[in-house]
A and B are shown apart, each in its own frame.
Chain A
Amino acid sequence: MKKSFAGQIAIVGIGATEFSKCSGRSTLRLAVECSDAAIRDAGLAPEHIDGAVLFAHEENPEIEVARNLGIKALTHFSCIPHGGGAACGTIHQAALAVHSGAAKCVLVYRAFNERSGFRFGAGVQDRMPGPTPVEVDFGWSSPFGLLTPAQWVAMFARRYMYEYDATSEDFGRVAVVCRKHAATNPRAFFYQRPITLDDHQKSRWIVKPLHLLDCCQESDGGQALIVTTLERARDLRQPPAVIASAVQGSSEDQQMMKSYYRRQISGIPEMGLCARQLWEDTGLGPQDMQTAILYDHFTPLILPQLEEFGFCRRGEAKEFIKDGNIELGGKLPVNPHGGQIGEAYIHGMNGIAEGVRQVRGTSVNQVSNVENVLVTAGTAVPTSALILSRDRR
């Protein structure tokens, strides 16, 4: 059944701070700056904002941001669990809120000093255990030294390699493409710094089978988005990026980063669930996407994402990538902004912003004739995805 908000809601504003390894200011300052920029981009003022949606591990409460921005009243506020998997879930939630009338104009943001401040990538080594379900969950892995997101993802990657004869080079090609795209994006960490497959292969091991260049880089920065009705969007400053649909997905026997007990672990069933919902909801299919922003915290899970969405058959993503399909000019350019590997790791929010730019036609690496953009959120966790489209009025 078509979601009632599908095609009725739009992203109307995007704003970001610079992306860096050391922002030199507080995370609250970053959150307020990027929110301020997004509101201005939309041609709105803070008093127009009456909703806020955040996701897990956001350390800046919406009330602090609202206070600093001068937002007068909030009639909807919510927070999505499960880290990066929630990135597109925020848009899903904001669209639901706007469509229901709970709020008219929703601010979504992510801001942190993940490199210069608290580093999520360091994992969970210092946690004190308790009898809570979260600690019990860590208890199955931490005592054995499986401690970091890279390590958790690598376990899936190794099995994928085994089942489909994929190699480290197949993962490396993802990094090479993302860095190539980032090299022409002045906002990217890795502007003018492309890499070769050889660089990838020679980069040090983080966790075998992942090299350093299979991993995105911890970043400082903030990214905000503004969501409102399409009707209202049409009166605002920017061309609307219509939310053709936005969905969430969590599948059977899902666990946080370590769903290792399913019959198979070489696919991403929750991403498949998102794919099925998006195609059903919009009547679109893989052939209708001119570009895709795929969540690339680590390269390996790009491959099963391409498969789950039907851009290629199961086990064939490595050939799809090798044939140049994910590069600019290819069948499905992936991450024209450079992805989280190349631009910055803002937990998927900078990817949504790139989706908006592609629809507006303002990306530095603009794909031609963009009608629809697929955007995905974090893998190995309960996740989300969305399709942004041009306003077809």
Chain B
Amino acid sequence: MTDAERAAFLEQLRAQVGKASQPELARDPVNQPMIRHWCDAMEDQNPVYTDAPFAAQSIHRTLVAPPAMLHAWMMPGNISRQVRQRGKSVLSRLNAAGYTSVVATNSEQEYLRYLKPGDVLTGVESLTGVSEEKHTTLGAGHFVTMRTEYRDQTGAAVGHMQLRLLKFKPGTGSSANAEGAEAAKGPRPVRPRPGISRDTQFFWDGFKVGELRIQRCNTCRTLHHPPMVRCPACGGYDFGYQVSSGKGTVYSFVEPCHPKVPAFDYPYVVGLVELEEGTRLITNIVDLDPERVAIGMRVEVVFQKPDPDLILPMFRPQRPPHRQTTLSFDAVAVGDELPPCPIPVTTRLIVAGAIASRDYQDVHHDREAAVERGLPDIFMNIFTTGGLCGRYLSDWAGPEALMRSLTMRLGVPNFPHDTMTLAGAVRSKSVHDGRGLIEVGLRGYNRRGDHVTGTAGLELPRQGEAVR
């Protein structure tokens, strides 16, 4: 395209900006099967979504849908791909011009009320902006921003979403090349191998079957690590082992900086973990920003393969407990940090999340299609990211905390075989109309960098009151 052609093309696209589509009716009413499906995919255990007796006693008085599902009710599904008038026609023009790949980059959702089974949504979509062509790591493309207003069967507004997409030309970005360049450097040096003797073989053998083994004296049952050949407690020579629960706390830790050793990715943390059985071991603390590692932090084992033929027990933060009672507004202070929550990014999570949000874009379930579009693998869609943020927040704040808004900006993708760690902190607190509102800053990072940064608005019950 010449510059003039490019300008004309952009003008065509922008002609649609500001105009609203015809109201579109959701294909299904808000319903329990889809909610359950979503909660299963996200491992969201908040009982207000799935436990009818609990929900009946809750502030909702009935089952409700996870708020982050808002747009899932409007998704077109796998068969119906009618082109909606405003935003969608822009997308088809971009498709025709070769910008065939799409990723969501930003989403802002506001939830005016929780949806209940039986609610029937109508969406009105408008195009709010189209950027000039930008050169991103994924490829050359245009950012397209659309806003959808959702109303219920009575015509009352229930929420809205602004979604920003990047429509790009596959194969024009640097990310695929970067992966290739990494591979071209050749095999990297491996980590130092462990020295293994007949006395310690059982420990290393355990990893092959997913066990973290602690030597146990068969005479006096005392546990030892590193292993002994004679029990200093009772003098026995007869040893077995006990399989550790894999849970423990960080007793001490360091972050090596210099000299750099090529077998290791920097930064990394070496931790001294005290297992709940009482013995300690040296390990790596993974899936956590090194700055966040702290003595006393609860961690759990995860067996990792840093090299093809080496399995090591490493530790990541334990998934924070799912809170059973709701945190009160008064118990929260600005600056409070939410406990970090590692979420293994599996193919299953990516696919289940895509389907639960009725997002049939091939890049979320079809590896070959993703590779064809210049990506190393399938990747998580933005609605799954939103669902996981919702789960993280309600695990922290409790079942009756209300999510009022969720704003997300996506960075690096969540590919399989990685772990996204969600972290957050309370940024502000305010009372409006007697409601206790807090804003939580969110960050989800994987080993490539920040996958998501964002904020969520929550309403928490004030002392002695239920949330309205």
Contact = CB atoms under 8 A, between A and B. Distances in A.
Interface in A140-164: 140-148, 151, 154-156, 158-159, 162
13 contacts: A127-B192, A131-B195, A133-B197, A136-B195, A136-B200, A141-B282, A144-B270, A144-B282, A145-B261, A158-B252, A159-B252, A205-B258, A207-B255
A143 B193 contact: yes
Nearest to B198: A131
Interface in B209-247: 225-226
A117 interface: no
A145 B270 contact: yes
A205 B266 CA distance: 13
Given A127-B192, A145-B191, A207 B279 contact: no
B143 interface: no
A207 B258 contact: yes
Interface stretch (A24-32, A167-175, A257-265, A348-356): A257-265
A234 interface: no
A144 B256 CA distance: 11
Contact of B258 (A130, A133, A206): A206
A329 interface: no
A142 B252 CA distance: 17
Given A133-B197, A162-B252, A261-B225, 11 more contacts: A128-B193, A129-B196, A130-B195, A132-B195, A136-B197, A140-B194, A143-B194, A145-B268, A158-B295, A208-B255, A260-B252
Contact of B254 (A130, A137, A154): A154
B256 A146 contact: yes
B282 A260 contact: yes
A124 interface: yes
Q: Which of B191, B254, B268, B290 has the most CB of A within 10 A?
A: B254
Contact of B199 (A136, A143, A258): A136
A191 B226 CA distance: 44
A261 B261 CA distance: 26
Contact of B197 (A124, A131, A146): A131
B272 interface: yes
Contacts of A206: 257-258
Contacts of B112: none
Interface in A197-243: 204-209
A43 interface: no
A311 interface: no
Contacts of A143: 191-194, 310, 312
Given A137-B226, A204-B257, A206-B258, A156 B252 contact: yes
Contacts of A141: 270, 282
Contacts of B290: 208
Contacts, number: 126
A130 B314 CA distance: 23
Given A139-B196, A204-B257, A205-B257, A260 B191 contact: no
Nearest to B200: A136
B270 A151 contact: yes
B295 A159 contact: yes
A146 B198 CA distance: 23
B82 to A, nearest CB: 55
A139 B257 contact: no
Contacts of B279: 261
Interface of A: 122, 124-148, 151, 154-156, 158-159, 162, 204-209, 258, 260-261, 265
B195 A135 contact: yes
B95 interface: no
B256 A140 contact: no
A129 B192 CA distance: 8
B59 interface: no
B264 interface: yes
Contacts of B258: 204-207
Interface string B196-208: 1111100000000
A130 B198 CA distance: 11
Contacts of A209: 254
Interface string B8-30: 00000000000000000000000
Contacts of B193: 128-129, 139, 143
Contacts of B192: 124-127, 129, 138, 142-143, 147
B312 A207 contact: no
A140 B253 CA distance: 15
A137 B225 CA distance: 11
Interface string B351-379: 00000000000000000000000000000
B248 to A, nearest CB: 13
A144 B257 contact: no
Contact of B282 (A125, A131, A258): A258
A162 B295 contact: yes
B194 A129 contact: yes
B261 A125 contact: yes
Contacts of A135: 195
A158 B256 contact: no
B302 interface: no
Closest 8 CB pairs of A and B: A135-B195, A139-B194, A129-B195, A142-B192, A139-B195, A208-B255, A159-B252, A131-B197
Given A138-B195, A158-B253, A146 B310 contact: no
A204 B258 CA distance: 9
B326 interface: no
Nearest to A208: B255
Contact of A151 (B254, B310, B312): B254
